[in-house]
Amino acid sequence: MRILVTGGAGFIGAAATRALLAAGHDVVVLDALRADVHGDRPAPALPDGVDLLRADVRDGAAVRDALAGRDVVVHLAAKVGLGVGIDDIDDYVSSNDLGTAVLLRAAAERVGAGQAPHVVYASSMVVYGEGAYACADHGAVHPPPRAETDLAAGVFDPRCPVCGRVLVPGLVAEDAPLDPRNVYAATKAHGERLLAAWARATGATAAALRFHNVYGSGMPRNTPYAGVASIFRSEAEHGRAPRVFEDGGQRRDLVHVDDVARAVVAAVERPQAPGRAEPFNVGSGTVTTVGELARRVAALLGAPEPVVTGEWRAGDVRHVTASSERAGRVLGWRAEVGLDEGLAALVGRL
Ligand code: UD1
């Protein structure tokens, strides 16, 4: 197929581009090479045969040109991460919401000329807010954001909205309500809503891949937008102890970027029902705590034991781990890279 990958020069985009090429597809990349992602480094080398159109996804004319003759759009271009502060809010909304809207509008214009492209959208597990929880007395519940007083007292696990008991985390499935808890999460959830509206209006196919915590070589580092695995690696490489926030018990699903890239290929190759944006969790299926991740990265690099700081970040969720059963059943995808192998590769020991 002829595919446009927006954000194809980024961490996930580059891996997805390689995987799509390896699967025999023709790929064009549109990427603005944003300074807050790429710094002042030269443009990354894309694989042979892949053209880079350097443009912002909010540039409608550039997007229209890039879309010409494309059967599929993989929309990964976004401003990622938890953000530095609330003063990032307009940049997030502009980059992610407006960027998605401009892309979808250009893609809709293709309907008259023939078929609208199939769109695969990079969503995130952060759209769920807190993951799935159960209360011993009240069963499945959806907790509100954690109270500052609890966090300050070192009570990091969310409480039951009915009785206030601390909750037990479980695996979140795609039918869980969307409840974004920070600006980035709100833009990703809104992007999914826009995609669903677009699919209904055009009758085209679309998939929203809810990536869990993606890691792997090529991860951005030393930016406020870097993921925790990259931050821990960077500290440990410099002989410093990784700094673990909260009590280190927060649970995540770390999914290797090569598995994520394979999920993109599966979603590209298996469009589902026309007129719908189909959500899929993309996680490894393995639950890891942030404390455990820090210990493993430090040990692999011979760095000092992690320090558990008790700090917390506003807008952080406590536990989010997925069931990716649906992606297995519908897309025929499942993660293949285990955490031992993935972390060894991350720290350069493979
Ligand atoms: C991450 C991504 C988000 C993406 C989501 C799902 C970043 C910054 N965030 O969110 O864009 O949508 O995964 O793929 O890339 N922590 C520490 N020490 C540190 C830094 C963080 O203990 O030095 C803790 C945080 O408090 C949090 C956990 O590690 O509990 C994970 O943080 P982070 O890697 O930023 O990821 P998410 O917020 O889960």
Over residues 227-243, the pLDDT tens digits come to 899 999 999 999 999 99
Q: Ligand 1 atom 5: the closest Cα is on which residue?
A: 213
Name beta bridge partners: 122.
Answer: 209
Per-residue pLDDT of 181-229, as tens digits, reads 889 999 999 999 999 999 999 999 999 999 999 999 888 776 666 789 9
Token look-up 């705590």 returns 289
The pLDDT mean for the chain works out to 93
Q: Ligand 1 atom 18: the closest Cα is on which residue?
A: 244
Q: What is d(CA 37, CA 51) in angstroms, rounded to the nearest whole number?
A: 20
- Residue range 130-143: average pLDDT? 93
| 304 pLDDT more than 70 | yes
User: What integer pLDDT is reported at residue 156 of this predicted model?
Assistant: 96
The first and second tokens of residue 115, run together, are: 């078929």
Name beta bridge partners: 118.
Answer: 72
Q: Which of 121, 184, 215, 225 is catalytic?
A: 184
Residue 133: how many CB atoms within 10 A of its CB? 24
User: What integer pLDDT is reported at residue 115 of this predicted model?
Assistant: 79
- Residue range 38-51: average pLDDT? 80
Q: What is d(CA 242, CA 32) in angstroms, rounded to the nearest whole number?
A: 32
User: What integer pLDDT is reported at residue 84 of this predicted model?
Assistant: 64
- Residue range 89-95: average pLDDT? 96
| 327 pLDDT more than 60 | yes
Identify the CA nearest to 245 among candidates 315, 151, 182, 313: 313
User: What integer pLDDT is reported at residue 315 of this predicted model?
Assistant: 77
> pLDDT band for position 113 (50/70/90)?
low
Per-residue pLDDT of 52-78, as tens digits, reads 999 999 999 999 999 999 999 999 999
User: What integer pLDDT is reported at residue 53 of this predicted model?
Assistant: 96
User: What integer pLDDT is reported at residue 147 of this predicted model?
Assistant: 92
pLDDT above 70 coverage of the chain, percent: 96
User: What integer pLDDT is reported at residue 58 of this predicted model?
Assistant: 98
Residues in contact with ligand 1 by the CB-under-6-Å rule are 80-82, 124-126, 184, 211-214, 225, 227-228, 231, 243-245, 250, 252, 290, 313, 316
Active site residue 184: yes
Residue 151: how many CB atoms within 10 A of its CB? 18
